[in-house]
Structure 1
Amino acid sequence: MSELVLPDRVLFFPVTAFDAAGRVDAELVEQHVAERVAFEPGAVFAACGTGEYHALSIDEYSTVVEASVRGTAGRVPVLSGVGGPLGHALASAREAQRLGADGLLVMPPYLVQGPQAGLIAYVEAIAAATELPLIVYHRGNAQFTPASIEKVLRIPQVVGIKDGAGDLAVAQRFVRAAADCDRDILFFNGLLTAEMTQAAYTAIGVPMYSSAVFAMAPDIAVAFFTAHRAGDAETQARLLDGFYSPLIDLRDETPGFAVSLIKAGVRLGGLPVGSVRAPLVDPTDEQTARLEALLATGRELVA
């Protein structure tokens, strides 16, 4: 049976660095991961949504996973994304295992809207291609019903569910479905800028969450996580009102900014990780300036 143990710390979703010619820059990926691991995340989720999995060839994916594994140097678990066209997902799963990843985040399939039986079969096919433990991402065109999640949890390699749909009643039913499972199941809040909703998720038994902010501002992300775990409502409120809410306002100005702004923030921090790939677009100079001011405000709030 597959097993995955993650420390109770903030989860890190790195960006994928591209050079001036648009190629994956393995050295910068490794540096980005190594620098952030120094802030002690619970795990590194490489080549996932923030890492532009949708835009990577299988060779580029392998480069990113390999560089991420090097960057962690065994200090924390490395999980990588798989999804999209089934053939690409299967190839990604095999490569991740070959390169030493500790687990996989199963993202939605490509384009088509399959029935529940098809979504279950998609997860089963990926499980058959690798021995790695799987976390299933419930979002987009891969939204499971509670009955389907019960069947997904019968797949021995499935060790976690990540919710990106935001229906707390459904998420609560997923948590209850795991009560009779023969192993511990990990639950994650995978909504955009998850810090804004984590209090509600913690209340229903979903203690872990994705933090895209950690990639560009680990000090702010760790400060919020620490306050949340300590029940420090004052610090949480200060960061939510002064940093996270304005960040969401900026993010919502342009589709895809959940990734583009994070990558811009990493560049503002001095690491030249390049632009996002199409169909995403970079923020304008004016938007980047506002992001820079917002990051400065966030750091003032945690000082």
Structure 2
Amino acid sequence: MPQFEWKGVMPAVTTKFTKNDTLDLEMFSTNIKAQLDAGVSAIILGGTLGEASTLTAEEKKTLVEHTVDLVNGKVPVILNIAEQSTKDAVAAAENAQRFGASGLMMLPPMRYKATDYETVAYFRTVAQNTDLPIMIYNNPVDYKIEVTLEMFEELLKHENIQAVKESTRDLTNVTRIKNAFGDRLKILCGVDTIALESIVMGAEGWVAGLVCAFPQETVAIYKLALAGRIEEARQIFRWFLPLLELDINPQLVQNIKLAEVATGLGTEYVRPPRLPLQGEERERVLQIIEEGVRSRPELPDYKNI
């Protein structure tokens, strides 16, 4: 089984498109290189931010293979699994392994609101059919299914279920999980606006969104917090918060792609039915981004902490 550590900043990267709605691998590569230069720990493909629901199987294959080639063993490449049937989820996991991914992030069944028993059976079946390590994405706010401690008790019988992307938005859950499972279940914060607090409370990592546009600042916060330099981390986080709030919004993809344009790391093209922001909302988001770029903090030498 491929082994890597579930820790550090793991960007859930956006998928770059051309104006003709094809994959823009050139701009995608520019962004990935910036992530690697900043010191991220992994690359996560095909998440919500990656517009996974609109990607074809062939496009996912292209993205994984291109990213694996690009990172050249520096960091693991993780593919998100978000399927409607267990059979499709197993097939997606098998494909991910074949394409060269080193790990999986897994959502519960899509569209159908599965019971606790059904959700555990779904995750278990996929875990039994892949050697790849798995991070369960626990986001009851957006996906209406919560993976409880009792459910994790069952799931952790499978050695390759190793981490949780903790997106319940309940900060006390970090402590609850640590009290229940110690280091057996690694915690990665999945909500940008409480990432610093989650790291301070013991989360091993951060599956980040605004990192797509601001990779250095994101990794700096993580490294400073881990080193106990909380005041320095807090000052950067205070600057970052208005931008981070763009992640907890139904138009998070459009918001973050607009931020990527401002920092030279992306384009605004999204795949319909998503469309670029319009009118007053666009102006509001642009103001936040422009102020963030104008007042970017000077960072310490965080890579050598």
Q: Identify whether the pair has TM-score above 0.5, normalized to the shorter chain.
A: yes
Deviates more, 1:214-223 or 1:277-286: 277-286
CA shift, 1:255, in A, is 2.0
Give the secondary-structure state (helix, strand or coil) at the position aligned to 1:38: helix
Shift of 1:102: 0.6
Aligned residues: 293
When residues 249 and 200 of structure 1 are mapped into structure 2, their CA distance, relative to the original with a 3 A threshold, is closer
1:10-58: CA deviations, max 9, x gaps? 2222110111111222343333213321222111111122212222121
- Look up the equivalent residue of 1:212 and give its one-letter code: G
**Partners of 1:148 and 1:300 in 2: how far apart?**
42
Distance 1:291 1:62, change over 3 A: farther
Q: Map 1:217-228 to 2 at 5 A.
A: 217-228=214-225
Q: Which residue of 2 aligns with 1:58?
A: 57
The residue number in structure 2 matching 1:138 is 138
CA drift of 1:214 comes to: 1.7
Taking the aligned partners of 1:227 and 1:171, their CA distance within structure 2 comes to 19
Q: Which residue in the other structure is 2:270 paired with?
A: 276
Alignment of 1:139-288 (within 5 A): 139=139, 140-179=143-182, 184-191=184-191, 193-194=192-193, 196-203=194-201, 205-244=202-241, 246-248=242-244, 250=246, 255-257=250-252, 259-284=253-278, 285-287=282-284
Stretches of structure 1 lacking an aligned partner (at least 5 in a row): none
What is the SS of the residue equivalent to 1:48? coil
Q: Distance in 1 between matches of 2:200 and 2:265?
A: 33
What residue number does 2:303 align with?
none
Q: Share of identical aligned residues, percent?
A: 23
Normalising by structure 2, what TM-score? Answer: 0.85
Amino acid paired to 2:31: H
TM-score when scaled to structure 1?
0.86
Task: Give yes or no for contact 1:14–1:44 (8 Å, CA) kept in 2.
Answer: yes
Give, as a single letter, the amino acid of the residue that structure 2 aligns with 1:276.
V
Q: Contact conserved, 2:8 with 2:206, CA < 8 A, in 1?
A: no
User: For structure 1, which segment, 48-57 or 270-279, has the greater mean C-alpha deviation from structure 2 after superposition?
Assistant: 270-279
Q: Which residue of 2 aligns with 1:294?
A: 291
**1:201, distance to aligned residue in structure 2 (A):** 4.9
Root-mean-square deviation (CA, aligned residues, Å) is 2.5
Q: 1:172 to 1:223 in 2, by over 3 A?
A: closer
Deviation at 1:227, TM superposition (A): 2.4
| 2:200 and 2:226 in contact (8 A); partners too | no
Say yes or no: does 1:103 pair with 2:99: no
Contact 1:146 1:170 in 2 (8 A): no
CA–CA separation in structure 1 for the residues paired with 2:34 and 2:171: 34
